[in-house]
Amino acid sequence: MNKIKIRKLDENYMVWNASDIIELRNKHRIVGSLIGCLPRIPRQNQQLGRPLLLLREEAALLIKRDICQVLKEISEPTNPDDKEIEEFKIKRDQLYHEQNILAKEDRLKELEKLRPRIYEGMKRKAKKDSNISSEKLEENVNEKMKNLEKRIDNLPESAQMLQIPTACTRLIEAPEEINTVAITDKLDETKIRVFEDLHDRGYFLTNGSKFGGDFLVYPGDPCRYHSHYVVICLENHAKISPQQFSTYSRLATIVKKTILLSYLKDDYTVHYISLNWAGIS
């Protein structure tokens, strides 16, 4: 089985291949967030495209499950040598030749659609000369069509479409393979363990920063469901003031979700405390 390739640039884990992005979402319940602009409508941020930026917790889970291969991207590739430039020119000429053939085929189809009109026009002119037979008229139409075909020009090079790669097509050196996500502190470890635990329970998880948490938890695909929980990860034995409890509870009420305070116990099992604001009557 081919592993999904993840490119690591600095501390960012990105997926460029479209089929890999679909597989991550449909098969592994990994959502991530698209951060690239769309080529046809680049000056907007309502709809974004590749690459898919993964959370560190998502990358850690994929590495642990041996689903992906993380490669360290070269941030500053060297300039191409003469051989690579020549290969690029050959590929560009090949693409132009293929597009030129397709353009001529499209033009011929357009001309073929004009055949009935050309036939009717020549037929009206032929009425003045009663000696022209239908066979001769058909020959004249075919000859006219051939002359028009000869006048079809090649596709202008300025109109050639070029393929724009969405990932590095040339690796200057063998990329460094990464087998783990670095854990910086206890809180970082807690986030990774909590993400894994909730993912194993069948939930979809995304970044929860827009709701003041670490993760948002969905019962199904975020395209179809609203999130039910806002997860806030804490270190074990962390002290929470009454003001913080009030803040978390108020937050849950405003966004109509349940707050999950998550932490690792001394035996490294994940525990949760749920908060909801309840009025007193």
- Residues serving a catalytic function are 218, 226, 257
Rounded Cα–Cα distance for residues 203 and 197 (Å): 9
| DSSP per-residue letters across 173-208 | SPPEEE-SPPP-SHHHHHHHHHHHHHHHTT-EEEE-
Rounded Cα–Cα distance for residues 103 and 105 (Å): 5
- In the numeric block, which tokens belong to residue 278? 């309840």
With beta carbons less than 8 A apart as the criterion, state whether 238 and 273 touch: no
Rounded Cα–Cα distance for residues 199 and 196 (Å): 5
With beta carbons less than 8 A apart as the criterion, state whether 261 and 275 touch: yes
- In the numeric block, which tokens belong to residue 188? 């970082």
DSSP 8-state code for residue 222: T
Instruction: State the Cα angle at 170 between 166 and 172, rounded to 5°.
Output: 135
With tokens 């698209």, the residue in question is: 34
**Which candidate, 259, 262, 254, 263, places its Cα nearest to that of 276?**
259
Element (H, E) at 51: strand 49-54
**Which candidate, 156, 160, 164, places its Cα nearest to that of 99?**
160
Rounded Cα–Cα distance for residues 199 and 58 (Å): 10
